Amino acid sequence: MIGLFAILLLLALAPSEVFAHGIDHPTALRNARNQFIHLKRQKPAPMIPILAESGSVRDLGRFRGKLVLLNFWATWCPPCIDELPALNRLQALLGNDSFAVVALSIDDGGIDLPVSFVRRLGLRNLGVYQDFTGRAEDAFPLYGLPITYLIDRGGLVVGYIVGAVKWDSPEAVQFLTHYIAPANSG
């Protein structure tokens, strides 16, 4: 009885800005430790500058009109490295005019480090970007690495998940397809 009371109290005191799953989100996404957190109050993704592997400076506005899976990672992060091949396969599977994986490295030292790292792993489908100013880390809370944010076609941050995900799994593909499908219907 006390355990049930503690759970109810915890739920009552939980921040009202997030919820784990609801009617508007018919699919769930989980990894070994966490689940995708849908934001109740969706805010526009900040238009922070990011460095593309070509050396050009871009911002997240470049992806407006696409569902964006914004993945923060680093070369020194073992779970991030384990997750990169699944992100690469996901980009090959779903990447098009409606969806993009944005692998955003938080490594210091220039874009060459993360690009060469990803290419040495044999990952050719994944576009690599770098938070060269540190502003992305300031704009998006990094509760751990890797952390992945989902940004809808209108540029609103839908939610996030902390930790590595098998992004090319049937469950993850179904989860993402729920958000991609509206762009393809009509």
CATH number of the domain where residue 144 is located:
3.40.30.10
Q: Can you list the positions of beta strands (E) in 15-84? A: 18-19, 37-39, 49-52, 57-59, 67-73
Q: What is the pTM of this model?
A: 0.85
The pLDDT, as a whole number, for residue 176 is: 96
Select from 147, 152, 139 the least CA-distant residue to 47.
Answer: 139
Question: Is residue 4 in a domain?
Answer: no
Q: Is the Cβ–Cβ distance between 69 and 165 less than 8 Å?
A: no
Q: Is residue 55 in a domain?
A: yes
18 φ/ψ sector (left φ>0, alpha ψ -120 to 50, else beta): beta
Domain count, the chain: 1
- Whether 11 is in a domain gets the answer no
| Mean residue pLDDT across the chain | 87
Q: Does residue 103 belong to any structural domain of this protein?
A: yes
27 versus 57: the higher-pLDDT residue is 57
Residue 86 lies in a domain: yes
Closest CA relative to residue 90, chosen from 102, 77, 106, 80? 102
pLDDT digits (tens, 9 = 90+) for 106-115: 999 899 999 9
Q: What number is the average pLDDT over the span 1-29?
A: 46
Per the domain annotation, does 9 fall within a domain?
no
- In the predicted structure, residue 86 carries a pLDDT above the cut 60: yes
> Mean per-residue pLDDT for 116-136?
96
Q: Is residue 70 part of a domain?
A: yes
Task: Give the pLDDT of residue 28.
Answer: 87
Structural domain for 97, as ranges: 16-184
175 inside domain: yes
